[in-house]
Amino acid sequence: MNVRKFWTDEEILEELSQEKQKRAAIRQLYIGYYQSLQGYILDNQGSEAEAAETIQKSMLVFLNMVETGKFSKGSAVGPVLERVNRNLWAGTLADRKSEKRSADPGPDMTQSGNGDVARSLAEIKGYQLINALYEKLGNKCKKILMLYHFESLSLKEIAVEMDYGSELLVREDIDRCMIKLTAQLSENKHACNLVRKAIDDGK
């Protein structure tokens, strides 16, 4: 297939079913829909890092829909991705509100301590799982994703830290590494489920 700027929905769905072109098809999804999916989250109380995480989850949900036959033939890819993205972000916002409502102004120190320990253990577990996956992406991808997702550095700060010529180059490399990570997770359902659970438990 000749690579054009952007494939049709039919071409994307066809290539997702073929291992040789799967990564290229995922890249097309990022090229075509990342900006609009990110814009929705940024417009609704989200940060760039939160958008990147939610979009990756949206991509994985979409890939699972295609692979399990839950994606209806004839449906447009864009609206489905947008719906998944909205639902995932709505869940994140709902969790935030729930955490605020359940916050006890006068917590019992013993119970609070136990909760903090459990949360810390979950966060460590999630960190270890994701770190292991990042290792497989190579040193450069590992470093840039760790700085972006775990240390919450801005594109400008990463550009200085890693000696990039511009923030645009940082953004392009983050997208490239996220595509590789998404493809890697889509090929390993067990790892994907473990990472999702660890991230959810660690929140």
Per-residue pLDDT of the chain (203 residues; tens, 9 = 90+): 444 467 888 888 888 887 778 888 888 999 899 999 999 999 999 998 889 888 988 888 888 888 888 888 788 999 999 999 998 899 888 877 776 665 555 444 334 444 444 444 444 455 566 667 778 888 899 888 888 877 778 889 999 999 999 999 998 898 888 888 888 777 666 666 655 555 454 44
Q: Is residue 76 part of a domain?
A: yes
Could you tell me which residues come within 8 angstroms of residue 94 by beta carbon, excluding any fewer than 6 positions away? none
Same domain flag for 74 and 136: no
Select from 75, 100, 125 the last residue of a domain: 100
Select from 52, 68, 100 the last residue of a domain: 100
10-48 per-position pLDDT tens digit: 888 888 887 778 888 888 999 899 999 999 999 999 998
Q: Is residue 112 part of a domain?
A: no
Rounded alpha-carbon distances, angstroms, from residue 1 to 18, 32, 48, 124, 138? 12, 18, 33, 43, 28
Q: Is residue 45 part of a domain?
A: yes
Same domain flag for 1 and 57: yes
Contact 86, 41 (CB under 8 A): no
SS3 content of the chain, % helix, strand, coil (to 5): 80, 0, 20
Domain containing 38 equals 1-100
Give the integer Cα–Cα distance in Å for 89 and 64.
Answer: 18
Same domain flag for 2 and 94: yes
Same domain flag for 90 and 124: no
* Two structure tokens written together for 168: 């645009």
Give the integer Cα–Cα distance in Å for 86 and 101.
Answer: 22
Same domain flag for 87 and 142: no
What CATH number is attached to the domain comprising 48? 1.10.1740
Q: Is residue 109 part of a domain?
A: no
Same domain flag for 131 and 96: no
